[in-house]
Structure 1
Amino acid sequence: MSIGNSPPEDRPSIGRALAQARLAAGLTVDEVSSSTRVRVPIVQSIEHDDFSRCGGDVYARGHIRAIARAVGLDPEPLVEQFVAEHGTAVTPTPVAPMYEAERIRPEPRRPNWTAAMVAAIVAVIGFVGFTVLSGGDSDKSTAKGSPTPTATTSSPTPTPQGNGLPKPPQPSDSAIAAVPPGKVTVKVSAEGGTSWIQATDGNGKQLFQDSLRKGQSLTWSDDKKIKLVVGNAGAVRLFVNGKDLGAAGTDGQVVRLTYTPGDPAQG
């Protein structure tokens, strides 16, 4: 296994491609390390095509995938290049033989006839007692001649609406929840792909710092302001104070935005 060798001169470098994509996205090594949970020394070594710190080929491939997604690259071509350069391949996990599954099956439980008999006896005694009590109560009611009250229920009559059906509920004018007064509310939704997001409130407290994958969304509110750093801004859609602002930027762009209770003008 030669995980520490540099690629030939006529091949593009995996580490150089990751480093250039990180710089183009405006991200630091610390930010990539925070979003991928790959330690800073390992990120730096991979950018210099030194994979000896990864702990093996499996971990190296996993680190390459995580870093590539964080900086906006397709990880699969880089992983294939790593496999080709270092002579490693993914070995499929062998399927356990059928007899192993058969051997670990638990034995079927035997029926507990004693418990069944006890339950049957209790049921019979309960039925006999209920019959006796019900008969006594019925005789007393007949002797007194008390009429049996009949319960009646009424249901509201639907208001006719053209075809005789009740009027359906009308949808609200906006799918965005009501904005609290005196606050700024920001929602980010990853609709076009994965994006790296950092959010802080008006006191400088960090609210979020990680990758937001396609289909995920987050919402924050604050009395003063919400500050955002958005990587791959074209993949993110913004909603500020109940207003849809559309995409935060263009694909691969890194933008820094600030919103206050008086917006939705971009800060």
Structure 2
Amino acid sequence: MMDGDSTTGTPRTAGMMLRSAREAQGLTLSDVAQRTRIPLRHLEAVEDGKFQALPSITYAMGFGRAYARAVNIDETEVARALRAELAANYQRPEPLQDLEPIDMRRGPSGGLVAIAAAVAIVLLLGVGLYFGTSLFRRDEAVTAPAATVAGDLGMLPSPTPAPGTTGGAAPASAPVPAGGGQVTLTATGPAWVRIFDDTGTLVNKEMAAGERYDVPMAAKNPQIRTGRPDLITVTVNGSNVPPLGTAERAVTVGISAEALRARGEASPTPAPVG
């Protein structure tokens, strides 16, 4: 193989050597692409010496060697020619000049700080609205278990007497009618109550002052558990019955018409004579 062009004496390039070998064997560039699995456009770039179209110098050297093996010429000689051409002609892409380098010593920009602060404020407002108001929450029929326990143990603060009533004074009671009847519970102040029967819980809530509840006449052995029995007025068919208890302790008592009748008929135990 000659070291240069026979007419001009110019050294042959790697691309010229590869093309001459290919044409001498009657091969097309597509044939070489099939043998080497190298894209046709990259083989054209190697033949034409347009190395800027290749991904990098490493790819240019690898493609040139594979091309040389495919056409059965000395790949070392081709690689030597490629190395010289790349050293003289290959130019790396210029870095972008319009991008300001990032100074890692500087803190975040003022815009980022303002955006982060705005997001934090919105989150805090959302949390405050959710937990501080009922705007995003549905009202629950059953009150919190902790409050129910407090009411059952008689730990709720003493209520303010309702207008027109005397604080702590129990309403006058009348004899319970002989037959069964409608039992009605009326709260004279805020009082936690749990009303249940043999089938389960009927009511578990805080009754507000003036609120009333009619015990279902079909209830089986209805009972009440409350920490403030002194704030619950009980009537049977509209007639008052003795109070369920005092403010000193919680009680669990039956509230059927029969149970209330039995309490009304029970005679007090006489005090021992000293």
Whether TM exceeds 0.5 here: the answer is no
Q: 1 or 2 for the larger relative contact order (CA 8 Å, sep ≥6)?
A: 1
Give 1 or 2 for the bigger CA radius of gyration.
Answer: 2
TM-score normalised according to structure 2 size:
0.29
